[in-house]
């Protein structure tokens, strides 16, 4: 439970720093559909969830800053004017990146201490990274009264990811984590960075996550490579982003790109169209149609965009065999992490059992099943 997580973080902070902190909860996210469309200025459909990062933060009078990652039992002391990215894959980059990017935006910070802990598994495609970045920027904004808007804060989190973590991510994760609304998913236009909330109530169906427990690492150049391909094709087409292209536009340059890259761009154009259709399906409560779009999304991610893996493909294939699972696909950047499944409520137990057994047989390891609540975005906890 998140309240226990918050208590734990608070207690550790008080024991260590002997003062009362400001407490922040910053959620992870799911994404119903619209994958790898965000950095193409397209549409996505994420929602903040009731799992994420709890952080405790307060000013420090010791002359330096201290950050403690409770999950990793790891502490770092640092000075505000000497920040540089550290080794790729280190948790410190999330904190250092946000602090540095706040300072780059000409806001003055004082020394501070922060303790944090999460209840989403890292590398599961549920955006523990964005949750952490947002908790730091939100906490510092409050602590030093920086006057940053939520829009400014998510851009700082995103820059931290680009310049310190090394992933050229889009804006979906930071946006969903910051702007989440209870019981709602956000149909976000990543060009205007504005969203429409859709109340999600699938009645006798629900969303179920299955974690392959294969940890993806987005800083793996694969993610950044995909983004470069999209940008190259956009400039060939003379447009700002693939969001502006149609399949016909793409066909006109088929001779100028490799077949692999052609299929990647085609995927983005189609996925963006699927996301718009999904919004309509949700509005009219047409779950069969939503489910079909979700399956198509996976097919594209796997065979065209090539960001899936055997474990994810296997979980989706198992879902397809069960007619009470209306849709299933990999979620997030890919190469591991979770699938998201649209399933009849009365089938969840049975499917979880079936799929867990089959997965274990096939890969000799366990998958994990989660249910999440759609929840509010990054906030102060009193």
- Give the residues lining the site for ligand GLA (CB under 6 A): 35-36, 38-39, 127, 169-170, 172-173, 332-333
How near is the Cβ of 159 to ligand GLA at its closest, in Å? 13
Closest CB to ligand GLA among residues 158, 348: 158
Beta strand pairing status for 184-189 and 22-31?
A: unpaired
Contacts of 111 (CB under 8 A, 6+ apart): 59, 60, 61, 62, 63, 64, 65, 80
What span, in angstroms and rounded, lies between the C-alpha atoms of 74 and 70? 7
Least distance (Å) between residue 155 CB and ligand GLA = 13
Q: Do 36 and 148 contact (CB within 8 A), yes or no?
A: no
Q: In terms of CB distance, is 77 or 232 closer to ligand GLA?
A: 232
Residue 334 beta carbon to ligand GLA: minimum distance, rounded to whole angstroms? 7
Closer residue to ligand GLA (CB): 127 or 213: 127
Residue 173: CB minimum distance to ligand GLA, A: 4
Compute the radius of gyration of the chain from its Cα atoms: 21
Minimum CB distance to ligand GLA smaller for 113 or for 177 = 177
Within 8 A by CB and 6+ apart from 32, the residues are 45, 46, 47, 185, 207, 278, 282, 290, 294, 340
| Separation CA 379–CA 242 (nearest Å) | 34
Catalytically annotated residues = 173
CA 290 – CA 284 distance, rounded (Å): 10
């Amino acid at each position: 439970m998140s309240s226990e997580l918050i208590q734990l973080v608070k207690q550790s902070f008080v024991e260590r720093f002997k003062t009362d902190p400001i407490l922040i909860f910053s959620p992870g996210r799911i994404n119903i559909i619209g994958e790898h469309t965000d950095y193409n200025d397209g549409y996505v459909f994420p929602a903040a969830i009731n799992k994420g990062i709890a952080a405790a933060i307060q000013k420090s009078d010791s002359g330096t800053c201290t950050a403690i990652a409770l999950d990793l039992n790891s502490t770092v002391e640092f000075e505000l004017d000497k920040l540089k990215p550290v080794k790729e894959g280190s948790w410190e980059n999330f904190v250092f990146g946000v602090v540095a990017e706040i300072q780059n935006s000409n806001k003055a910070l004082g020394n501070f201490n922060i303790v944090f802990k999460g209840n989403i598994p890292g590398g599961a495609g549920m955006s523990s990274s964005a949750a952490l970045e947002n908790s730091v920027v939100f906490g510092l904004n409050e602590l030093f009264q920086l006057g940053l808007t939520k829009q400014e804060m998510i851009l700082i989190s995103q820059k931290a990811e680009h310049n310190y973590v090394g992933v050229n991510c889009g804006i979906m994760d930071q946006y969903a984590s910051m702007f989440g609304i209870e019981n709602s998913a956000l149909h976000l236009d990543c060009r205007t960075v504005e969203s429409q909330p859709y109340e999600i109530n699938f009645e006798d169906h629900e969303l179920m996550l299955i974690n392959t427990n294969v940890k993806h690492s987005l800083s793996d150049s694969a993610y950044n490579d995909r983004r470069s391909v999209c940008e190259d094709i956009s400039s060939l087409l003379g447009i700002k982003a693939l969001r502006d292209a149609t399949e016909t536009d793409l066909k006109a340059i088929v001779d100028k790109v490799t077949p692999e890259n052609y299929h990647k761009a085609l995927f983005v154009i189609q996925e963006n169209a699927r996301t718009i259709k999904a919004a309509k399906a949700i509005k009219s409560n047409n779950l069969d149609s939503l489910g079909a779009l979700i399956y198509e999304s996976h097919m594209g991610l796997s065979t065209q965009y090539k960001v899936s893996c055997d474990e994810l493909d296997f979980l989706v294939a198992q879902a397809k065999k069960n007619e009470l699972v209306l849709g299933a696909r990999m979620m997030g950047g890919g190469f591991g992490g979770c699938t998201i499944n649209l399933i009849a409520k009365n089938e969840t137990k049975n499917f979880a059992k079936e799929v867990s057994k089959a997965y274990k047989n096939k890969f000799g390891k366990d998958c994990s099943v989660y249910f999440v609540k759609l929840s509010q975005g990054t906030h102060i906890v009193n």
